[in-house]
Chain A
Amino acid sequence: MNHQQTDNQRFEQYKKQAKKEKRSILMWQVIIFIAFFSIWEIISRLHWIDPLIFSSPTNIVQLLVDKMVDQTIFIHLQVTVLETIIGFLLGTILGILLASLLWWSPKLSRISDPYLVILNAMPKVALGPIIIVALGPGYASIIAMGAFISIIITTIVVYTAFQNVDENYLKVLASFGASRYQSFKEAVLPASFTTIISTFKVNVGLSWVGVIVGEFLVSQKGLGYLIIYGFQVFDFTLVLASLLLIAICAAIMYQLVERLERRLMN
């Protein structure tokens, strides 16, 4: 009885300590946040930095509020987010399909090996101009860039996972006379599930890169376009406001994928 009481007390104390630690970390995060933006605001107003180039938090917020009131920002936001989602889905799905095809035909996989290595090593955004010439200066090109940037690495990573599936699972299936398709469906695909999910997180980030660069080049709509436009007319408040929106959207999408991952893993 007595023992249990002290044990419980210790546990309570441990919990209190953990809570305190957590609160302290959150406090520091808030302090850094506030300090960063207040210092930025102050030195901008004091003209220690050039407010024309570095703007200031209040200017950025003011601009965002204005653009939300006249609703012009939403079109750009919508365009970019949709392009990124479609690019991400295309890149991921096509990558997995290509990996399946390579698993299906070991010969094809060996033939394509050097090409995959080169394509993977190449900085995909450098292909931007060619993609735009081929697909025209529109959404198609931008989505293609968002997809292309992740497709090769997804293929390679997922195919490697397919290959590393323990052969004995395939042996068990073979002893029941399973076809190649059945082996794929029953063992290879489910055994590689973790790897496939992990590519989602990487690909979300990659798709953002592809889409923003695409918008830089095509320059019609979207947050990437706003950045380039702001740069050209020397409106750095607009550049920084767009940047802020991109950071927020990318973080939200990453969180969603992470939540999906946790859901799927259980």
Chain B
Amino acid sequence: MAFLSIDNVSHQYFTKMNYTKALQSISLSVEEGQFISFIGPSGCGKSTLLSIIAGIITPTEGSVRVNNTTVQRPSVSIGYMLQQDYLFPWKTIVDNVLLGPHIKGTLTNGLQQLAIQSLTEIGLEDVLHAYPSQLSGGMRQRAALVRTLMTDPHILLLDEPFSALDYQTKLKLEDLVSNTLKQFNKTSILVTHDIGEAIAMSDKIYLFSASPGSVFSSFHVPENLQQLTPFEARQHHDFPALFQHIWEELNSLESSTNR
């Protein structure tokens, strides 16, 4: 039995006038410690699927199971990191990072120490008591990562976490996130529209097609690329071939929907 399994999930959004079928019969499974990516055109339901996995949205059909238990509501065992950092502007960085324990009512001195330690390790020791507006985009995203990891989730959901950053910052953060998650053996799902990022970071890639959102195809990233850091993987000579392959699939997907 897989660690995380998505069984035949469909989801509809209802509005006054009509409804949107955001997802249609999605089934896939993820092994413990695996890093997978979702790519696909915008509006194909990637964010919706993440919210369903996180337990924030209940799917109109199907179910998500973690360790054989059905996900019914948000739980601390699943961490969710959004596209923008969404640090709370009125809280200091430390307080932002401690939001999860604060909400859970499990805040202890030990956790406070841990927060300061983690922020220090990630290079934010000088801004512990600063407010988010005083930080650069990359620093904020790092703080958001620490916030997500603070509740020690088993599964990490990353919704386009690097898309608002400049290229250099993004490459650095890819390495940082990848190392951190590997180090703690987290199971992760990354949503991205950057094919290179998907290859560099993950073990397996799912390509989604839109209206309604469904899995179009999937790709295994070769073992030797999986071992490398994202930055090294981007330099590797096996990288362009896979990139090319996914690129063509993405194009064929577009031409089939444009018809």
Contact = CB atoms under 8 A, between A and B. Distances in A.
Interface string A131-175: 000000000000000000000000000000000001011011111
Given A177-B73, A177-B104, A172 B99 contact: yes
Given A171-B80, A172-B80, A182-B103, A177 B74 contact: yes
B104 A168 contact: no
A247 to B, nearest CB: 37
A176 B90 contact: no
B34 interface: no
Contacts of A177: 73-76, 103-104
B151 to A, nearest CB: 7
B56 A175 contact: yes
Question: Which residue, B75, B76, B79, B88, has most C-beta atoms of chain A within 10 A?
Answer: B88
A175 B54 contact: yes
Interface in A182-237: 182, 186-187, 190-191, 193
B82 interface: yes
Contacts of A187: 88
A20 to B, nearest CB: 36
Contacts of B100: 176
Contacts of A186: 88, 99, 102-103
Question: Which residue, A168, A169, A175, A186, has most C-beta atoms of chain B within 10 A?
Answer: A175
Given A169-B88, A193-B90, A175 B79 contact: yes
B82 A176 contact: no
Contacts of A251: none
B184 interface: no
Contact of B78 (A168, A175, A190): A175
A173 B80 CA distance: 10
Contacts of B51: 171
Contacts of B75: 177
B84 interface: yes
B88 A178 contact: no
Contact of A171 (B56, B88, B102, B103): B56
Given A174-B56, A182-B103, A169 B86 contact: yes
B128 to A, nearest CB: 20
Contact of B88 (A176, A182, A190): A190
A11 B218 CA distance: 65
Contacts of A172: 80, 82, 86, 99
A173 B103 contact: yes
Question: Which residue, A168, A171, A191, A193, has most C-beta atoms of chain B within 10 A?
Answer: A171
B59 to A, nearest CB: 16
Interface string B49-85: 0010010100000000000000001111011101010
A182 B103 CA distance: 7
B47 to A, nearest CB: 10
Contacts of A174: 56, 74
Contacts of B103: 173, 176-178, 182, 186
Interface of B: 51, 54, 56, 73-76, 78-80, 82, 84, 86, 88, 90, 99-100, 102-104, 151
27 contacts: A166-B86, A171-B51, A171-B82, A171-B86, A172-B82, A172-B86, A172-B99, A173-B99, A174-B56, A174-B74, A175-B56, A175-B79, A175-B80, A176-B74, A176-B76, A176-B99, A176-B100, A176-B151, A177-B73, A177-B74, A177-B75, A177-B76, A177-B103, A186-B88, A186-B102, A187-B88, A190-B90
Interface of A: 166, 168-169, 171-178, 182, 186-187, 190-191, 193
